[in-house]
Amino acid sequence: MGKVYLVGAGPGDPELLTLKAVRVISEADVILYDRLIGEEVLNFAKPDCKLIYVGKEDGKHTIPQEEINKLLVYYASTHRNIVRLKGGDPFVFGRGGEEALYLKEHGIPYEVVPGVSSAYSVPAYAGIPLTFRGIASSFAVITGHECTGKEKRVNWRAFGSIDTLVILMGVKNRQRIAKELIEAGRVPDEPVAFIERGTTNEQRTVISTLREVASNPPEVKPPAIMVVGEVVRLQSDISQLLENVKNYEGAYHA
């Protein structure tokens, strides 16, 4: 009987992998990995490791979740170390909890290796603090993806008084989300940031407002994170500060 590791690979930048994640990946006999796992991360695997792609896109599931669960049990019966490699953190909208329960029900030993979540790391890379003294003392992380036919929708009114909202997987529904938030009582001129491919070399930030997103949403491509709140107004100043620090360090080392 092998052991399954539910591992968070972080938001994209391979340097944000934890030391434990690197060790577990390097010892794995089998790795089942998601769509946003980069080649640089998979390069930590040993040469004879079996790599199995089980990624999902909106409307396109290479392997259904039920089959992924069964694969984890199967490989645990044939190999010693199995890694289920997920972007961000496995327990933040990564369905890691479902997989953990399935493994427990089938008597498979498992361990969770937390990862750096894109919910806070991507805004940080873009120069947006989720909390800031005098501006924001609370934040919430919400899924923007709702399955067709799902009975229980996100209750956007519950987030009307939260200072900062971080919405994952919400690009497709961004216009409807903005309308829902305005109806929930949020100020139409409240700033909104979309951060595409955060923490990678292709990161791009688009700044807008709830009113603009609700009426004429900006062009944004997934994967992207949506941040709503007054802290977005700090983005340009903090980004410039980070750039100045980077330039100073470069000049110092030169």
Find the catalytic residue in 50, 56, 70, 179: 56
- What does the alpha-carbon distance between residue 61 and residue 176 come to, in Å, rounded to a whole number? 24
| Closest by Cα among 86, 93, 180, 167 to 130 | 167
Identify whether the C-beta of residue 101 lies closer than 8 Å to the C-beta of residue 23: no
Give residue 121's Cα distance to chain centre.
9
56 is catalytic: yes
**Dihedral angle at the C-alpha atoms of 61, 144, 166, 115, nearest 10 degrees?**
-20
- What does the alpha-carbon distance between residue 90 and residue 168 come to, in Å, rounded to a whole number? 14
Find the catalytic residue in 13, 34, 89, 226: 34
Identify whether the C-beta of residue 210 lies closer than 8 Å to the C-beta of residue 192: yes
Find the catalytic residue in 13, 86, 89, 169: 169
| Closest by Cα among 138, 229, 159 to 189 | 229
- What does the alpha-carbon distance between residue 202 and residue 102 come to, in Å, rounded to a whole number? 36
Which residues are marked as active site?
34, 56, 169
